[in-house]
Structure 1
Amino acid sequence: MSIEIPSARRDAIAARLLAGEPVSSTALAREFSVSEDAIRRDLRALAAAGSCRRVYGGAVPILGGGLPMAARMIDGGAEKRALASAALALIPPGSFVFLDNGSTNVAAAEVLPEDTGLLVGTNSIAAAAALATRQDLPTVMVGGGIDPAIGGCTDGTAIEALSRLNIDVCLLGTCTLSVEDGAGAYDAADAAFKRALVARSRCTVVLVSNAKLGGRAPHRIVDMAGIDHVVVAQDCPEDLISTLVLAGTNVVRALPPQDN
């Protein structure tokens, strides 16, 4: 019989997930000679740490870039704020602007201007929390079941609520962006919500870091023809910008990020 302390067992499971292997609760319980409840506790802890995504019967790896919102919020704050600030020129006064799930759009919630008559909608819990602290922008929260990994609501209830809105400008969250494959997402439900969001919006803006450009995710949201503006980082490589421009995309370059 194999005797494993929980931390060692958890490390072994995490190593498999890191290698891209899905895991089964039943198989792991048999292998480590523990109960399935013990394995479920391990998987809950690993999911909370961003090492996997729980599914029925086990867990699957987080696909590259598909980190939970809590982890994404920590990384690249100055760059995200610079991207959000550059997008402000694309939002006319008096607009109904929708902030999709995405850590960069949380930064947008913090920098949206006062006294411009904006109405703000969002399905992002973090963006809604940021807007709630400002008290200067009326906000519409699109609800439904909360997905902790995504950081907001993307289920059928959220999509149905979205169908009743007439949105002027959406800041679309995306996991990847390329001329060949358009905007992509790692999660199917998230992608479905984003497609519905684009359909309800007059203007679609994507704020994208260098790491997301040229990537490819399993679920397509919209091709480049459906995106009106792309905001890129100040140090975005010129060849990537040229590719976007040649595809007919309006590209806005952010100013250098300012550390707080």
Structure 2
Amino acid sequence: MLTSYRKQQLLEMLKADGKLVAKDLSARFDVSEDTIRRDLRELAQEGLLQRVHGGALPASPAIADFAGREQIRHEGKVGIGRTAAGLIQPGQTVILDGGTTAREIARHLPPQLQATVITHSPTIAIELVEHKAVEVILLGGRLFKHSVVSVGAACFEAISRIRADLFFMGVTGIHTQAGLTTGDYEEAAVKRALSNAAAETYVLASAEKWNAASPYLVLGLSEVAGVITEPDIGEAITQPYRELGLSILRG
């Protein structure tokens, strides 16, 4: 079998089954596990899947930079932002992650809401400039240009002094096995620190995040209060997560 054809078969199987197991593929295609691992490695280098121990999972398209993510399913993100904004109560201190979905939360805060919003995203801070009743605290640090957020030692120092009610966290992948993941090691650590600084963490998960994985673990599914997603995400997708005890809210 030609390598190119086998790779195409692997991608079709991944789309249908949601995962690939190298040992099973070796038997199915009558090639060595080393050959399968090489195929998976090359497909991963092309960004077509995420390798994990023993096989592969679907790669998240949300790993694109900020400008690229602005083009992905904007309508669904609006609904998520509206639902998340409705969870914020007057007087609360809320952390907003960076990203295009978190920006929709800022845009949907009620005009009369009095609250404090902490963010390491200049984009989020700018969205709230005209919101007179919301106090905005912008965390500094080194600008990670891919996601337009602060990271680094100064950011961690500031986070260590925060105690918030809610954290609305963006990820690039949510998967029953891989957990909540993102595409940058340092950004994953910042998200984890922000979650530890809040009483409750809600994950913002638009359609392309489900059943996908990225290289770096942020948190396990059991470590968050729930996931906020789009209304048209089917029960076939969400049911395995509910069975693991994850609360799911629809925008």
- What is the TM-score of this pair, normalised by structure 2? 0.74
Contact 1:144 1:155 in 2 (8 A): yes
Contact 1:63 1:186 in 2 (8 A): no
Could you say which residue in structure 2 is the equivalent of 1:97? 94
Stretches of structure 2 that go unaligned for 5 or more consecutive residues are: 1-42, 47-58
* Identity within the alignment, %: 26
- Work out whether 1:83 is the aligned partner of 2:80: yes
Letter in 2 for 1:166: R
TM-aligned CA distance change 1:74 to 1:64, over 3 Å = closer
1:135 positional shift: 3.2
- Work out whether 1:20 is the aligned partner of 2:17: no
Q: Deviations over 1:222-242 (max 9, x none)?
A: 001111011111110211221
SS in 1 for 2:222: helix
Correspondence 1:110-189 to 2 at 5 A:
110-189=107-186
Could you say which residue in structure 2 is the equivalent of 1:199? 196
Distance 1:153 1:233 in 2: 28
Letter in 2 for 1:130: E
Contact 1:179 1:243 in 2 (8 A): yes
Distance 1:73 1:243 in 2: 29
Could you say which residue in structure 1 is the equivalent of 2:70? 73
SS in 2 for 1:135: coil
Distance 2:137 2:242 in 1: 34
- Work out whether 1:107 is the aligned partner of 2:104: yes
Q: Deviations over 1:14-68 (max 9, x none)?
A: xxxx9937xxxxxxxxxxxxxxxxxxxxxxxxxxxxxxxxxxxxxxxx9853211
Contact 2:66 2:99 in 1 (8 A): yes
Distance 1:248 1:104 in 2: 24
1:145 positional shift: 1.0
Could you say which residue in structure 2 is the equivalent of 1:246? 243
Distance 1:63 1:20 in 2: 13
- What is the TM-score of this pair, normalised by structure 1? 0.71
Letter in 1 for 2:186: A
RMSD of aligned Cα (Å): 2.2
Stretches of structure 1 that go unaligned for 5 or more consecutive residues are: 1-17, 22-61, 255-260
1:109 positional shift: 0.9
Deviates most, 93-102 or 74-83: 74-83
Letter in 2 for 1:193: V
